[in-house]
Amino acid sequence: MRLSLTDGRIDPRNPPLWHDQDVPDRECADSSSSPEPPAPTTRSDELLTLLVLLVASAVLLVLCLGCAAFWLYN
């Protein structure tokens, strides 16, 4: 909920966003189904993304240095 800086009330020009509202948890509401464990792939996905970015950066650096060396020595 967004508050104004002067009196602590909600600013009508800046209404609350949808994620600021209280939304009931669907898993808690439906107790008949067994809760699934959280996906363990989020950490590995982040590491894979960082690895891909690191390799892409290294390739671009080698390409730039190769072009600079070619330009300097020819």
56: confidence class by pLDDT, cuts 50, 70, 90: very high
Token pair in block for residue 24: 């009931």
CA distance linking residue 37 with residue 39, whole number of Å:
6
CA distance linking residue 41 with residue 45, whole number of Å:
6
2 within 8 A of 20, measured Cβ to Cβ:
yes
CA-to-CA dists, residue 1 to 24, 50, 62, angstroms: 17, 34, 49
Q: Is the pTM of this model over 0.75?
A: no
Give me the residue spans of the domains in the chain: 45-73
More confident: 72 or 6: 72
Token pair in block for residue 43: 């950490």
72: confidence class by pLDDT, cuts 50, 70, 90: very high
